[in-house]
Each structure stands twice: as C-alpha cells, then as structure tokens.
Structure 1
Amino acid sequence: MKHPPFHAEHIGSFVRPPRLIEAARAHKATRLDEAGFRAVQDDCIREIVAFQESLGLPSVTDGEFRRRSWSAGFIDAVDGFGLRDGTLGFRTESGVMGVASSPYAKERLRRRRRIVADDYRFLRSVVKRGEPKVTIAAPDVMHWFLGPKAYDGAAYADREAFFADLVAIYRQEIAELANEGCKYLQLDDTALPCNCDPHARKDVAARGENPDELTERYARLFNECIAGKPADMSVAIHLCRGNLKGAWMAEGGYEPIADALFNRLNADVYCLEYDTPRAGDFSPLRTVPKGKTVILGLISTKTPVLESKEALKR
C-alpha cells in the first residue's frame, strides 16, 4: 500500500444520510439510547467506507459521521469547556448571518475520554482498501476566535498555561492513535486562514493581540502538539475559511501566514482551500520548501456543478 500523502483525496465531511440525522435527533431527545445511536452510526460508516472504496480513493474516512460539527468531537470529549459569543460570524453574499459561538475554558481542561482513537479503531476494522484517515480540530481553534477570552482567569493564569494543557491533551490522543495503528491524521484549522482576513486581523489587534505573533505562536503550538508522533504517521493540516451551507467566515489569500505556515509549522501535508476567489491566488506557494506536500482544494463541495478539467488546469 502507498503511504500518504496521495495524489488526490477527499477532504471534509460527507453529507449525513437521512436515517443518521433522524437517529441524532432521537438521541438528543432521549428517544434513542447511546448504544442504539452508535449502531446507526456504525452502519452508516460501513456504507460510506464502501462508497469511498468503490471510487478507488486512496485515503478513507468515516465521513466524520460521529461528530456534531467539525470541532465538536474535541469539545465533547474534554471537560472544562463552555461557549461564548465571538466576534466572527458566517457571511453570505447578502451579509453576515450572525455571530458564531466559540468554546472557552471555564475550568482547567481535562480529557474525559478518547477523542477519536475509538472512532479510528472502528474505521480501521471496516476499511478493506485504502489508508484509514482520522480528523480532529486543530489546537489553535480553541483560542483564536476568542483570544484572551478563550479561558477564564480562574482556570488559567495566562495563554501559555492554557496552551500547555491543550498540548498535553493532543499528545495523549496522538499517542493512543499511534497505538491503534493510525498512519494518517488530519488537523482541521479555520484559525490560520481566518487570520488572513483583513477585517479579522483588525479585530485581533483591537483585542490587544498581534495577528502576526499569533500566527507564529500557533505554528509552535501545532508543533508542540504533534511532537513525539511516530515517524510513520503523516500529519496533515487542512485550512478552511468555514463552510456552512455555502456561507463562509473569512476571506483573503494565504500571504499573511505563508512563511510561518510552510517553513515553521511542521505538517507533512498542507490541504489548502482554493475552490473560491476568497482564497486568493497561488503566489503564496512560492514559499513552500522542498520536501513538503501541498494538496490544492480545487474541486468544491459548495456547489453541485462539477468543475471541468479545463477549469481546473486554469
């Protein structure tokens, strides 16, 4: 079997089947117990795995069917989080839809259960062809949207103490993923691409932080979290500006973060959103050093229209 990264991959969630949506609603309303909900998830994952294998995809995910949202898998498994309104909302062509809630540490963070290691174990058991890939929210997401308000002072004296607990949680999870045989881990990051948005950068400065310093610190945070991973585990970072039924959270090319992203953040693979003009042009890719792999996100999930080969070449 070839090892990641691969020439072409699917990035992101698959559309939930109707019966999985109904099961989630029944579970939330306590009409379906945890075992029953898990059984429905298992069946739907088997089907989406078979679908990916039928397409010949080299990496196979569980469709991200077990998590409520792209970041909820982490938050649900870690005690100490609450929610606060941030300053950044989803946008459409007609304006801002509303401010999004973001997690904050109201108490010291403690991993209550395995975050995705059990999910990976099941995924690996049902994949017959291809490399099982597991996804988790990137650590900087837990800070960027709220900045200094991402933790209560009673829980953490400063940002570094907060980051230290995040690092410990990620390292423990990655070690357990390695023990399960995981060779491909993807960290989903909206913080760094949002930090490319001129308006968002002004908001960061207004709350007393330097957006360029944050980029550098987030690169080190990423490196600290994956330190100690096995040499045969490939780690990808997936950069996205948010996607909620076609709405987005930020716009702007990768130039403000490119140097730190490609030269000081130690990902093996960079999965870059490039399916709309909001992502800018390819000029930031000039800073990618030899030995690192970039996967260009050119085929969009935001529209049902399939791109032509000619459009992709342009």
Structure 2
Amino acid sequence: MNRPFVSDAGKGAFLYKKLIGGDRMRTMDKKEIPFTVDHVGSFLRSERLKTARENFSEGNITKEQLRVIENEEIENLIEQEKSAGLHGITDGELRRSFWHLDFLEHLNGVEGYVPEGGYNQKFHGKAAPSYNIRVTGRISFNKNHPFLEDFAFLKDKVESDESLIAKVSVPSPNMILRQELLANDGNSRIHQIYSDLSSFYHDLSQTYKEVIHAYYEKDCRYLQFDDTNWAFLADTDKRKEMQEKGIDPTSVAQICRDIINEALEDKPEDLVLTTHICRGNHASSWLFSGGYEPIAKELFATNYDGFFLEYDSDRAGDFAPLRYWHNKESKIVLGLVTSKFPELENNEEIKKRIQEATEYVPLENLSISPQCGFASTEEGNQLTEKEQWEKIHLLQEVASEVFKR
C-alpha cells in the first residue's frame, strides 16, 4: 500500500509543523485526503467501555475513572485502525453518546434536554434514546469546548507515526437549523431569540468558523462535518411535509449551502474539511430515504474538500446526481459497504459500482468507505467488532485491485 505522505512538495501539497523529536516540517499531499480507503468516524464500543459508561451513569465510578478507561479503549482502537490499514485515525467517537448532540449541547446558546415525547426523529423500527438539543440564546462557540481536549489526546497518540493523521468528525451547523426550523417538537424559541432569521444563519456560520479555527489551532488538519439535513431535504415524504407547511425545500437547501460556505470562507489552506451525508444511523436503522437529485446542485456547490456519500442501498438512488459535482480539487467518497449489517458485500459488485461512478467522476477523484459509522449512537449497529473490521478489510482488498495510487 502506498504511503499517504510524500517526500517532496508537488502540486496540491502543503507543509505543516510536526513536533517529533524536535521542531521540523513534513510534507503531506493534500490530494491524498480523503484516503483511498477512508471511514466516517465511529466504531463499535467494546463491552468493557459499555459497562464503564453504565457504571458511571449509575454513580458507581467517577468521571476520572471513566476517562481512564476511555483513554485505554481509544488507544486500543487506534492500534486496530492501524492494523486495518487506515490512515485517517479517529477516536471512534468512543466518548460520545450521540454523534451530534454531545457536541452541540456544549455550544453557547444551546442546551441538551429530555423531551417528554421522546426523540422527535423516528427511526424505522427502532426507538432512539429520549434526548435532544434546543437553542436558548444567541449561538456562539464555546472556547472551552470539551471536544478540543478529546482531540488533543487523539492527536498525541496518533501522529508520532508519519503515515497517519488524526481525524475528527463534528455535526454540521445545518443540524441546528433543521432542529429549530424544520423538525422541532414544539420547544423551539428561535423566533423569540432571533427576530431576523438571517442573523440566526449568520451566527451558525460564525460559530463554525470558530469551530474550524479552534481545531486548527490544536493542529487538526482533517476535519469533517456530519450532516443528516441534506438527506432530510432529499426525502420525498419530508419534502411533501415541508411544502404542505409552505416551506420550499430548495430554498432551504440554498440557505444550508450558504451557511456552510460562509463558515468555510476563510478555512486555512492546509486543513482538509470534508462532509458526510447521512440518512440516519441508530442500531442499524435509518431515518430518511431518497436519492441526491433534489439537493445535488446545492450540495455540490458547497466548498468542501470531500463528500462522503451513502451508496449502500436502493434508498440512496443512482450516481446520476454526481453530474453536478464541479470542484475537481475535491473527492467523492463512495459509501458502498454498509455499516448497518454484518453480511459482506460482493467484491466484484463493488468494483462494478465504482466503474459506474466514473461516468461522472474520474477515478482519481474517487475513494471508498463504509456508508456510515458503525456506532453513531453508543448502542452501535447490529454486527460484531470482528464483522466491523471485515468490512474495512473488504474495502482494502477492493482498493488494491481498482486504485493505482
């Protein structure tokens, strides 16, 4: 397997400081990220970690004791990721209960709460834990956000190896927009807090500008915004519901595009920032269904460096919306292997689908990954840790046969 870091700076390459045995520089080819085989971020929690989190919630161990166990489990996971040939290394989101709420509730002006009617987004066949977020005041970034310390731990454990880079995924600002304006459960006070919604949109962008720069100052160079809002806007039933309320889904998609692009407008050149478009992922269930066609123009007009797209089932539609992809410096990451179920996909079928995608995107701009994380909530999907890694190994096998990098 080719190493993702090269020794001399070519087109698209950049330098950043690295403290390994002294202050020196190394060169990374930005075009290598997302990697040929990449992943969304979350991995299954071990039974040891699940037990520790349960003991903490019941008051049987302290936060400090839980932190020690989390640290050890993250170190174990890092070794597993390395053994699986991954180069973008995450902490598996092992400290989180939810992929999004844990981060969002630590922003200024946002709080977590337990809704009386349960989580307002209904998964197909599964009940999600009853917890959510709501906006209580003007939104801004919390400079003491605990996720920054979590990233510092990950980076310290990962980047002594020059073939690896620490990656972190956080929820997109559009998740707050959807919760407050499109899918709220009657608890939204957004119109009381913001008399002008354009100020709300601007605050979301400004907050995430600060998110980007806060991670950058912690030496993060691979950041990802996870986003189920685009799938919400592409879902036929959700679009119909919005239209019945007098809401134009295309106009909302344009607002979401603009929020993202304003947040990214002064992104550091040597930071790779990708997005994952998710249709919902809790205990192997899902929220939304529909291809990318209704939102493709707006989605691919966002200035991300890479797009992780779910393509593991008929619910994702075909590759035709990729014709709207226009930024030839960005990558499309095809999520062709499901993270929801243990059955392994067929090697030849995956290769066939990659070939089909090249009708719209050159092979050099394609990568592959699981369709989503393996544990977007701490419960995890319905497969074993062994089966989880078999999915990654399958992708590596396909990549070795298809990509010449």
TM-score normalised to the size of structure 1? 0.91
Moved more, 164-173 or 232-241: 164-173
State the alpha-carbon separation in 2 of the partners of residues 117 and 27 from structure 1: 22
- Which of 36, 50, 65 in structure 2 is aligned with 1:7? 36
State the alpha-carbon separation in 2 of the partners of residues 153 and 10 from structure 1: 38
Note the alpha carbon deviations across 1:181-238, whole angstroms, 9 max, x for none. Answer: 1111011000001211110112222333211001111011111222322101011010
Give the number of aligned pairs.
Answer: 310
Q: Which fold has the larger relative contact order, with Cα–Cα distance below 8 Å and residues 6 or more apart in sequence?
A: 2
Counterpart code for 2:177: H
Query: Which residue of 1 is the match for residue 312 of structure 2?
Result: 275
Structural RMSD (CA): 2.2
Asked if 1:117 corresponds to 2:158, the answer is: no
State the alpha-carbon separation in 1 of the partners of residues 240 and 227 from structure 2: 20
Asked if 2 retains the 8 angstrom alpha-carbon contact of 1:135 and 1:187, the reply is yes
State the alpha-carbon separation in 1 of the partners of residues 224 and 133 from structure 2: 20
Distance change in 2, residues 1:143/1:102 (3 Å): farther
Q: Which protein shows a greater Rg? A: 2
Distance change in 2, residues 1:158/1:74 (3 Å): farther
- Which of 166, 170, 174 in structure 2 is aligned with 1:132? 166
Asked if 2 retains the 8 angstrom alpha-carbon contact of 1:107 and 1:154, the reply is no
Asked if 1:71 corresponds to 2:100, the answer is: yes
State the alpha-carbon separation in 2 of the partners of residues 13 and 249 from structure 1: 18
Distance change in 2, residues 1:197/1:100 (3 Å): farther
Asked if 2 retains the 8 angstrom alpha-carbon contact of 1:89 and 1:100, the reply is no
Distance change in 2, residues 1:124/1:211 (3 Å): same
1:82 CA drift (Å): 4.6
Distance change in 2, residues 1:282/1:123 (3 Å): same
Moved more, 155-164 or 179-188: 155-164
Give 1:225-244 correspondences, 5 Å limit. Answer: 225-244=263-282
Query: Which residue of 2 is the match for residue 81 of structure 1?
Result: 111
Note the alpha carbon deviations across 1:158-193, whole angstroms, 9 max, x for none. Answer: 322222332232222211211111111011000001
Q: Which runs of 5+ in 1 are unaligned?
A: none
Distance change in 2, residues 1:216/1:115 (3 Å): farther
Note the alpha carbon deviations across 1:65-95, whole angstroms, 9 max, x for none. Answer: 1111110232231243255567641114xxx
Distance change in 2, residues 1:214/1:48 (3 Å): same
Asked if 2 retains the 8 angstrom alpha-carbon contact of 1:73 and 1:115, the reply is no
Asked if 1:198 corresponds to 2:236, the answer is: yes
Asked if 1 retains the 8 angstrom alpha-carbon contact of 2:135 and 2:180, the reply is no
Distance change in 2, residues 1:59/1:137 (3 Å): same
State the alpha-carbon separation in 1 of the partners of residues 237 and 173 from structure 2: 22
Counterpart code for 2:133: P
Asked if 1:47 corresponds to 2:79, the answer is: no
1:102 CA drift (Å): 4.4
3-state DSSP of counterpart to 1:224 = helix
Moved more, 38-47 or 112-121: 112-121
